[in-house]
Amino acid sequence: MSNLLIPENYHAALDLKQTELAIKQIKDFFLRSFSTELRLRRVTAPLFVLRGLGLNDDLNGTERPVSFPIKDMNESMAEVVHSLAKWKRVTLAEYNVEPGYGIITDMNAIRADEELDNLHSLYVDQWDWERTMTAGQRNVEFLKQMVRRIYGTILRTEFYICETYPQLRPFLPEEIYFIHSEELAQMYPNKSAKEREDLICQKYGAVFIIGIGNKLSNGEPHDNRAPDYDDWSTPNSDGHIGLNGDLLIWYPILNRSIELSSMGIRVDAKALMHQLDIQGKEERKNLYFHKRLLDGTLPLSIGGGIGQSRLCMILLHKAHVGETQSSIWPDEMRTKCREAGMPLI
């Protein structure tokens, strides 16, 4: 509850009925536009995977997956997915998706260890996407190209929903600004990573921070990343390290930065072994996913996730993600939000 933000004089631009309709409109429009922009084919995704295959993501490495035994499979354990980063790469191989094309799916997850606030929920819904690429595209210029196309889709969706509901006014900048996490740390050496994000986003409006996971010159990573999906250890042509990053925007209603997407070029065999070594997790090379990557049966790829409810939240000018998704919230939070004019679904 200590992290709950209550904006002064908040008033929802859309009532509950309009909000439900607008959520559907945003999701339909964005999915069509994004799929066309990146040439992504929709696929069906699992809610859970078997434990021990290396298919589930461990995110920052500390979150516990929700798990359960399967009676009809000799009590084998299943885990609710945290995300589908590695599952999508296997699917690219199984569907033999050629370079320049990819897949997109609705990812639904339960993250029981989340600290609940305006942006974080037990329930996570994302558009998870993955695109096959060539070895010649494993560079920071290609990463930036893809980020600009994603951000352009967000801008088109903002225009569409503001035209549909004139009480909403567009606020996102036309261009997205790129900066490496090391440059950002040098710019604000006495600030925390979150404070640095707020300062750079307030300045530029929309920012992509490159290089998330590798240690910076101050001895700390900008944020933690698992070693086996994003490539955060390969040198790039800008003279820095890392081929992944986070897309953030400045959100004036909450007066803070908000992450809309985490994405990146995925590890190849060399980067995988290097990153497993850095984090002391070499034993993972014996898991199903890691074996397939190391034996060359998985394609090179780029991918990420875009929060559905969070995107709806900012495009509909809401103050809490619970205004655009149904989840479980503490009674005290529900009461405070309702009193502040931000009823949680």
Which of 89, 111, 138, 266 does the annotation list as catalytic?
Answer: 111
> Among the options 130, 231, 246, 268, which is catalytic?
246
Query: 10 Å Cβ neighbour count for 191?
Result: 14
262 counts as catalytic: yes
β 76-80/48-50 pair status: antiparallel
> Dihedral angle at the C-alpha atoms of 151, 156, 159, 161, nearest 10 degrees?
-100
Nearest-angstrom CA–CA distance, 319 and 314? 8
Q: How many residues does the chain have?
A: 345
Specify whether 259 is catalytic: yes
292 is an active site residue: no
Q: Of 333, 305, 310, 309, which Cα lies nearest the Cα of 116?
A: 333
Residue 141: CB partners within 8 Å, gap ≥ 6?
Answer: 237
145 is catalytic: no
Task: Select which of 126, 181, 309, 325 is catalytic.
Answer: 126
CA angle 52, 54, 56 (to 5 degrees): 100
Of the candidates 51, 148, 259, 279, the residue annotated as catalytic is 259
Query: What order do you get walking across the sheet with 256-265 strand by strand?
Result: 40-42, 102-110, 123-132, 301-307, 256-265, 244-251, 206-210, 177-180
Q: Respond yes or no: is residue 237 known to be catalytic.
A: no
Gyration radius of the chain's alpha carbons:
20
Task: Supply φ then ψ for residue 254, to 5 degrees.
Answer: -100, -5
Residue 222's closest CA among 237, 208, 205? Answer: 208
Annotation says 246 is catalytic: yes
Of the residues 35, 83, 261, 262, which is catalytic? 262
Q: Catalogue the active-site residues.
A: 57, 111, 126, 246, 259, 262
